[in-house]
Amino acid sequence: MKTLLPLVAVALLAGAPAAFAQSDNSDAAGPMVTENKVDTQTFVATVPNANAFEIQSSKLAEEKSPSSDVKAFAAQMIKDHTKAGEEFKAALSQGQTTASIKPAAPGLQPKEQQMLDELKAASGKDFDTKYITMQTDAHKDAVALFSTYANSGDDPAMKEFAKKTLPVLKMHEKHAKELAVAHQG
C-alpha cells in the first residue's frame, strides 16, 4: 500500500498537491493555499514537524534497514534535514512577517506518528519498501511546496530559505526514486 503524506507531514516532505486543491476564497476557513501560492503560516507550521519526521524515520532506517544504500541515504537525510532545521530557525528569527507566526510545536502530528509506527513494525525488505515509498512521496510533495513558496511567499527570509533548500530536496527526491528502482522486485 502506498503511503501518502498530508500537508502537515511535509514541507520537507509536504502534502502541497492536496492543499493546492483548496479554494482561493478568502472567506474559507483554514490556511490559504492555492495553485500558485502558499501562505507563510502554512509554510512555517509545516516545516518543523515534517523535518522531525524525516530525521526520526531516517534514524530508524539507519538502525533497521538491511541495505547499505538505504542506510547511506538515511544518514544523508539526517545530516541534511538537521541542517535545514537550523537554517529554518535562523530564517524564522530574521523573518519580517513571521514575527506573529508560530511554528508548529515540536513533535509529530498524528499522521506522521502513524507512518513512523508503520516503519517501526516493519522489517527487512518490507521496511526498505515502506521507507523508500515514504521518502519518495514526501520529497515529491516537499519540492512542490518549497518551489511554490520560493516563488510566491511573502516573507523574504522564508523565501530565501525555501530557495536555498529546494535544490537539496530535489536531490533527495531523485535519490529516493533511484533507490525505489534499485529495490524493486
Domains and CATH numbers, the chain: 7-182 (1.20.1260.10)
Inform me whether the pLDDT recorded for 128 exceeds 90.
yes
Residue position matching grid coordinates 502530528:
109
Q: How far apart are the first and last CA of the chain?
A: 15
Residue 37: strand pairing partners? 34
Mean pLDDT over 132-161 rounds to: 93
Most distant CA atoms of the chain, gap in Å: 51
With cut-offs at 50, 70 and 90, classify the pLDDT of residue 108.
confident
Inform me whether the pLDDT recorded for 93 exceeds 80.
yes
Inform me whether the pLDDT recorded for 114 exceeds 60.
yes
The pLDDT, as a whole number, for residue 184 is 86
The pLDDT, as a whole number, for residue 185 is 63
Residue position matching grid coordinates 530559505:
161
**Cα–Cα distance measured from residue 58 to residue 53, given in angstroms and rounded to the nearest whole number:** 8
**Cα–Cα distance measured from residue 100 to residue 97, given in angstroms and rounded to the nearest whole number:** 7
